[in-house]
Amino acid sequence: MDLFNEVWGLFMMRWLHVISGVMWIGLLWYFNFVQIPNMGKIPDDQKPAIGKVIAPAALWWFRWAALATLATGLILAGWQGYILDAITLGIVGAAEDGFVIKHCAIGIGMWMGIIMAFNVWGVIWPNQKKALGMVQVDAASKKKAARTAMLFSRTNTLLSIPMLYAMVSAQNIY
């Protein structure tokens, strides 16, 4: 068996994409399903254990996993030659091949994933730095930053459900 052919390379890239994605969405769901709903039940003197230790560590893995998932995903789509077809939801390429539902489905998933990765690096992380005290701001800005980070984290949780449907359906039923 030739381990270094294109099939094997694509498979390895897909495997990296999936494990990065599990790390990213797993931590997203940890924040939304475990950490945020239970912060209120933790006594104030114990809150720094989460705010100063657990959350910064989780955010490190979270944001780099998001970037790794995006990068491996774009490499996969580029390598297989359907990146433009997918980004245009199957419109580009339709003239030659007819409309390809697989490209539309993976394209919807890709757009949701791209928006989610942008939310991580462009909104959640900058605001979490203020909320967790890694960047010094006044109390009002800190509260506002925590709320913005929470709402965008919730938005990503919402998007993760149809995003995974689009990705897995493109792979398995189309």
Partner 1 sequence: MNNPLEKLSSTVVMGVVLTVIMVAVLAAIA
Footprint of partner 1 on this chain (CB under 8 A)? 32-33, 36-37, 99, 101, 104-105, 108, 150-151, 154-155, 157-162, 165-166, 169, 174
Among residues 118, 141, 120, 122, the alpha carbon closest in space to that of 130 is found at 141
Q: Taking the complex as a whole, how short is the minimal distance between the CB of residue 104 and partner 1, in angstroms?
A: 7
CB–CB of 90/108 below 8 Å?
no
Pairwise CA distance, residues 145 & 139, whole Å: 10
Q: Taking the complex as a whole, how short is the minimal distance between the CB of residue 1 and partner 1, in angstroms?
A: 36
Structure tokens at 16: 């990296």
Q: Taking the complex as a whole, how short is the minimal distance between the CB of residue 154 and partner 1, in angstroms?
A: 4
Q: Which amino acid is at 147?
A: R
**Which of 5, 171 has the CB closer to partner 1?**
171
**Which of 69, 156 has the CB closer to partner 1?**
156
Pairwise CA distance, residues 127 & 143, whole Å: 10
**Which of 121, 174 has the CB closer to partner 1?**
174
**Which of 1, 40 has the CB closer to partner 1?**
40
3-class secondary structure, 88: coil
Q: Taking the complex as a whole, how short is the minimal distance between the CB of residue 99 and partner 1, in angstroms?
A: 7
Q: Taking the complex as a whole, how short is the minimal distance between the CB of residue 65 and partner 1, in angstroms?
A: 20
Q: Where are the beta strands (DSSP E) in 9-110?
A: none
Pairwise CA distance, residues 49 & 97, whole Å: 56
**Which of 72, 156 has the CB closer to partner 1?**
156
